[in-house]
Structure formats: C-alpha cells, structure tokens
Amino acid sequence: MSAPAPDRDPVTGRLTTGHEWNGIKELGTPVPRIVFIGLTLGALYLIVWTILMPAWPGINSYTRGLLGIDQRTSVEARVALARLERAEWTQRIETEPLATLASDPQVMNLVKGYGKTLFGDNCQACHGGKGVGNSGFPNISQAPLMWGDDLDTIHETIRVGINAAHPETRFSQMLAFGRDGMLGRSDILAVTDYLLALGSGASVDDMTHGAEVFAFNCASCHGDNARGSVDFGAPDLVDDHWIYGGYRQAVFNSIFTGRAGHMPSWEGRLSKADLRILALYVGWLRENQP
C-alpha cells in the first residue's frame, strides 16, 4: 500500500492530504465560510421559528409557540369570516321566492358566475357543460323537463333527486316490456316505428297496430298524444330530444329493457343557498339556451 505524500494541486494551489482512493486525491480545501454562515442562519431561523410556532413535542403535549397560532383555530376563524361575508346575499337567496330572485339582475349576476361553478362541480359530469346532456343523461337546458320546468319544481328535483336515496325522492320507472314478456318483438317494433313516425311528423294513419300498442301500454304515463307527463316523470316522445338515443335500435332497446334513470339528491351535500342558486342557474340556462 503506497500512501502518496501530500502534493500541491495545480488548479487550486492547495495541498492534498495524502489520502487517495483509486486515483481520487483528497484536496485539503477548507469548508468555505459561506457554508458556516448559511448553517448558522439556518439554525437561527429554526430556533426562532420553532419558538414562535407550535413545534416541539413533549410527553403529553407540545410547545404552543409564542404567537399562539394554531391551524385549526385559524381555519375556523376564516371559515366563519367567509360565512359572514357571504351572509348578506345567502340570506336573500335562502328566503326570497325564486321567481323574485330570477328577476333581480344583481342576483342573476351572482347566479351566472357562482352558479356556473356549482354546476361545473356537481352537474356537468352528467349533463354536460351547458346542460345539453350526454347519452343516458337528459338535456336540461333545451328539452322539456320530465318533472316540470318552473323554478320551484327544478329546485325540488335537485333537492330530492330521481330514484335517489332521499326519502322524498322522485320515483319513476319504465317497465321492461320486452324482457319481462309484456310485449312481443313485433309489437315493440310496431310501436317503435309509430313513435318515430310521430316524431318526424309523418302520417301514422296506416300504423294502427303501433297506435294500438301505444294506447294500451304507453299512453297511461306518456299521454295519449305521447307528449309526456310531469306527474310520472315520463318524457315527451314526440319532440327531438332523446335521453337514450332516438334511432330505431335505441328506442327499441328502451322499450325492450325499460329505463329507470338515476339522479342523486343534493340536499345535505349542498347548502340551502347552493341548491337554490343551482335551480336559478338551470332556469337561466333554459332561458338563454346555448
């Protein structure tokens, strides 16, 4: 083992210590002063900050810090303050009739801003950005609403949901006419074609079979003229809007296997004011159709 004698590094002019590891020599450069300054400042910061703030644990408790700051109390204070600031308008929203609020431009300005955010966070995933729906989820900004479209009804639908867990939930189910053997294939096809013809405005005079099937099986909920009924949450079958698709196979499937869409109830998840803002926002969407 050869321990080379200390020599001078030509670049730095400093001596090496004589230690060497497979060709890497140990250069004797002292630790730069700035490192010690940094460590000292760091230690000072550490000491001062942990004296000011809750920091060091003991056996049963911890040092509370001279500033008396605690994240729990600070967040509670901020939430209370925010609630207070919002109280001036939340109180109006909660108490005044929706129709009155809808005619107040100041309220509607809030609805257009905050209502949009609320809608985005809670409704958009199913009903789409402008409420125009997705496959399986109804268009709620342009189509007639199945349970009624005045503001109070919209609010109620949002509050209790459809086929939801809420005790007062709206309940609606379309039977599986084909699967459960109430109608045969040819009956379903006949009524499908009858409905498609009705919707397109074509003549249905010679579709007596389809009309008959409809009258006996569908009219009780969807109405004699197939324009739907808000009492049962039964959609209008003549307009251009289809939840599950308006082409022949989709309509056939709906009749064959039945439908029972689900909308969650939002009472308990959203505040009272938020529920009412959403109702106003949906109403506004319907009036200013995209």
Q: Which residues bind other proteins (CB under 8 A)?
A: 1-4, 9-12, 16-17, 19-32, 35, 38-39, 42-43, 45-46, 49-50, 53-57, 62-63, 65, 69-72, 75, 82, 85-86, 89, 110, 113-114, 116-121, 124-125, 129
Q: Which is nearer to other proteins, 119 or 232 (CB)?
A: 119
Beta bridge partners of 134: 137
Cβ density class 135-169: b for 16+ within 10 Å, e for less: eebbbbbbbbbbbebebeebbbbbbbbbbbebeeb
Cβ density class 89-105: b for 16+ within 10 Å, e for less: ebebbeeeebeebbeee
Q: How far is the CB of 213 from other proteins (least distance, A)?
A: 40
Q: Which is nearer to other proteins, 110 or 182 (CB)?
A: 110
Q: How far is the CB of 138 from other proteins (least distance, A)?
A: 19
Q: How far is the CB of 97 from other proteins (least distance, A)?
A: 20
Instruction: Name the residue among 41, 59, 39, 43 with its Cα closest to residue 51.
Output: 43
Q: How far is the CB of 131 from other proteins (least distance, A)?
A: 13
Phi-psi region of 85 (alpha: psi -120 to 50; beta: other; left: phi over 0): alpha
Q: Which is nearer to other proteins, 116 or 259 (CB)?
A: 116
Q: How far is the CB of 196 from other proteins (least distance, A)?
A: 32
Q: Which is nearer to other proteins, 16 or 157 (CB)?
A: 16
Q: How far is the CB of 1 from other proteins (least distance, A)?
A: 5
Q: Which is nearer to other proteins, 50 or 208 (CB)?
A: 50
Q: How far is the CB of 218 from other proteins (least distance, A)?
A: 37
Q: Which is nearer to other proteins, 44 or 215 (CB)?
A: 44
Residue 36 is inside which H or E element, if any?
A: helix 33-52
Find all residues with CB under 8 Å of 142, minimum gap 6, and list them. 131, 132, 241, 286, 289, 290
Beta bridge partners of 174: 259
Q: Which is nearer to other proteins, 85 or 231 (CB)?
A: 85
- The C-alpha atoms of residue 261 and residue 167 are separated, in whole angstroms, by 17
Burial of 65 (0-12, 13-18, 19+ CB in 10 A): middle
